[in-house]
C-alpha cells in the first residue's frame, strides 16, 4: 500500500514530501499588534514574522497568545478579534518537527511595555532579535518568514484596527 504524502515547506520555502504519519498536529496563534500607524513584528535573521507560536496542551488559545507575545517581544497584549485562520504544512525551525498546523491570527489591543529579549527561549537567541515597531506603509518592502500573505493580512487587520 502506497503511503500518503503531503508537501511541507521549511522556513526558507524549500519543499519536502512528507509521509502523513510523520506529521504532528499543532494549533498556533499569532498577534497583529498596532500602535498608531505601526505594527509590532518579531525580527528573524534578515526578515520578520508575527509574534506567536504553538499552543500547549491544555492551554486556552488566548492564554497561549498572551504567553507567546510576552516571550517573543516583552509586550503584554489583550487578544481581541480573530482576523484570519488558515492551515499550513511545514517543518519547524530549529526542531525539524513536521507539522500540520492550524494558524489563528488575532488583532490584539492595549499593548503595554517595551520590547526586549529577556524572555527568549535559549534556541531563539540564535536567530531572533528585539521586536520592532514597523510603519504599516513599509511592510510591502520587507521580507517575511511565514507561509501567509503577510502584507495583505497586515493591511486588512490595520483597516479593522483603524475603525
Looking up residue 112, the CATH number of its domain turns out to be: 3.90.79.10
Nearest to 38 by CA among 48, 53, 25: 48
Q: Minimal CA–CA distance to 35: which of 141, 116, 108, 106? A: 108
Q: What is the pLDDT of residues 48-74, one digit of tens each?
A: 999 999 999 999 999 999 999 999 999
Q: Structural domain tally of the chain?
A: 1
Q: What is the dihedral of CA 117, 41, 29, 44, to 10 degrees?
A: -70
The helix or strand, by DSSP H or E, that contains position 31, with its residue range, turns out to be strand 24-35
pLDDT score for 152: 98
Give, for all 163 residues of the chain, the pLDDT tens digit: 789 999 999 988 899 999 999 999 999 999 999 999 999 999 999 999 999 999 999 999 999 999 999 999 999 999 999 999 999 999 998 889 999 999 999 999 999 999 999 999 888 999 999 999 999 999 999 999 998 999 999 999 999 999 8
Q: Give the domain extent around 149.
A: 5-162
Mean pLDDT of the chain: 96
In this prediction the pTM is 0.95
The DSSP code for 124 is: G
Amino acid at each position: 500500500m502506497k503511503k500518503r504524502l503531503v508537501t511541507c515547506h521549511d522556513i526558507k520555502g524549500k519543499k519536502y514530501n512528507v509521509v502523513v504519519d510523520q506529521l504532528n498536529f499543532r494549533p498556533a496563534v499569532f498577534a497583529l499588534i498596532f500602535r498608531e500607524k505601526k505594527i509590532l513584528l518579531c525580527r528573524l535573521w534578515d526578515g520578520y514574522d508575527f509574534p506567536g507560536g504553538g499552543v500547549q496542551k491544555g492551554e486556552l488559545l488566548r492564554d497561549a497568545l498572551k504567553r507567546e507575545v510576552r516571550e517573543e517581544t516583552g509586550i503584554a497584549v489583550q487578544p481581541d478579534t480573530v482576523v484570519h485562520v488558515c492551515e499550513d504544512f511545514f517543518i519547524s525551525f530549529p526542531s525539524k518537527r513536521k507539522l500540520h498546523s492550524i494558524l489563528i491570527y488575532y488583532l490584539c489591543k492595549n499593548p503595554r511595555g517595551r520590547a526586549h529579549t529577556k524572555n527568549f527561549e535559549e534556541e531563539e537567541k540564535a536567530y531572533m532579535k528585539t521586536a520592532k515597531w514597523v510603519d504599516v506603509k513599509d511592510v510591502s518592502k520587507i521580507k517575511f518568514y511565514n507561509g501567509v500573505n503577510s502584507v495583505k493580512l497586515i493591511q486588512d487587520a490595520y483597516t479593522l484596527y483603524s475603525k
